Amino acid sequence: MVKQAGAKKPDRYELGRERDRMTFLYLEHAKLNRQDSAIQVIDQRGIVNVPAAILSVLMLGPGVDVTHRAMELIGESGLGVVWVGEYGVRQYAYGRALNHSSALLEAQAKLVSNRRSRVRVAREMYQMRFPNDDVSQLTMQALRGKEGARVRKVYQDQSQKTGIAWTRREYRPDNFEASSPINKALTAAHQALYGLSYSVIAALGASAGLGFVHTGHDLSFVYDFADLYKAEYSIPVAFQVAAKYSEDPDIGTKTRLAMRDAFMDGKLIVRMVKDLKTLLGVSTEDTEAETIQLWDDRMGLQKFGVQYHELPVGAPE
């Protein structure tokens, strides 16, 4: 076999933790290759090498070609990859997670499978949005109504603050250009937040599809999780961008850049990692464990990698 050039596969301890990484990088109409431990981005403007281990998620738009060597590096570095549509308004596919532990996934599946624990986690998610109110006894219907009123007020407050007229939210995934400037900005901002939310969920080994409030979609938990931060990040950023670039035909790009800066300035990844573990009741030590064991319905967890022998007929188990 011919020895391949380039950097060796990184050891686990050499990779940056999800909470320490940059947020996301959106690319379109470019070719991605590998240059040692960096993703080489080539387009009509030139060549840029981006270290794979410092990014959280790559959002790949139309016209992106990715080589096998680039995907190899991305997988080794635990970099989340999301293939999106033009302007990032749709999500088509995604890549492998960083974390090898199933602790968060198992905890999430257990919590969402029980009615009482599912309601409890859903209330905790709403409680994060209403820190001054006690929502521990409210029904899901009451919580939805309370959240709806909160979001409407956020839109109205941002409209008054920025001078951008606001009527209602219009999302047109099949015709982005037909929307008003503020709705274009909101679409781009929310999609950037969804991308980062998905990256954190997947990187820590949780399931994007097992939602507590949303359900029936492969991204249900992404929508649950992203809703925790919209009022603080995507909505105000969208109004600020729309106020400044309402006539700019490339308002989607301006919004994504503003979101990226807001994520970095607010250290949102660090906060997301902490919030996710808290909601699912899993410690950092549990999520960083990489041991694999065998499940037994009577004897509990058993060692992996041991050659077990068949029990004699009639022998006690």
**Lowest mean per-residue pLDDT among 16-20, 37-41, 89-93:** 16-20
CATH number at residue 48: 3.100.10.20
- Tens digit of each residue's pLDDT (9 = 90 or more) over 298-314: 777 677 666 666 767 66
Q: Give the per-residue pLDDT at 9.
A: 47
Residues 164 and 211 in one domain: yes
Residue 316 within any structural domain of the chain: no
Instruction: Tell me: pLDDT of 110 over 90.
Output: yes
Shared domain check, 170 and 35: no
Amino acid 300: pLDDT: 72
pLDDT digits (tens, 9 = 90+) for 145-197: 999 999 999 999 999 999 999 988 887 766 777 788 999 999 999 989 998 89
Confidence of residue 13 (pLDDT cuts 50, 70, 90): very low
The percent of residues in the chain predicted with pLDDT above 70, rounded, is: 79
Q: Is residue 303 part of a domain?
A: no
203 and 145 housed in the same domain? yes
- 75 shares its domain with 177: no
Residue at 107: amino acid letter: A
11 labeled binding residue: no
Q: Do both 49 and 166 map to the same domain?
A: no
Q: Is residue 307 part of a domain?
A: no
Residues 58, 159: one domain?
Answer: no
- pLDDT above 80 (res 88): no
- The answer to whether residues 149 and 250 belong to one domain is yes
Shared domain check, 172 and 111:
yes
147 annotated among ligand-binding-site residues: yes
Task: Please give the full DSSP string across 289-316, using - where no structure is assigned.
Answer: ----EE--TTT--EESS----PPPTT--
Query: E strand or H helix at 91, and its extent?
Result: strand 91-94
If asked whether residues 89 and 174 sit together in one domain, one would say no
Evaluate whether residue 171 is within a structural domain. Answer: yes
Annotated binding-site residue? 100: no
Domain that holds residue 159: 103-283
Residue pair 183/255 in contact by the 8 Å Cβ criterion: no
Average pLDDT, the chain: 83
Q: How many domains are there within the chain?
A: 2
Q: At what angle do helices 268-280 and 181-203 cross, to 10 degrees?
A: 60
Q: Which of 80, 44, 65, 20 is nearest to 206 (CA)?
A: 80
Please check whether residues 32 and 175 belong to one and the same domain. no
Quote the CA–CA distance of 81 and 79 in Å, as a whole number. Answer: 6
Span of 8-22, 73-87, 264-278, 288-302 with lowest mean pLDDT: 8-22
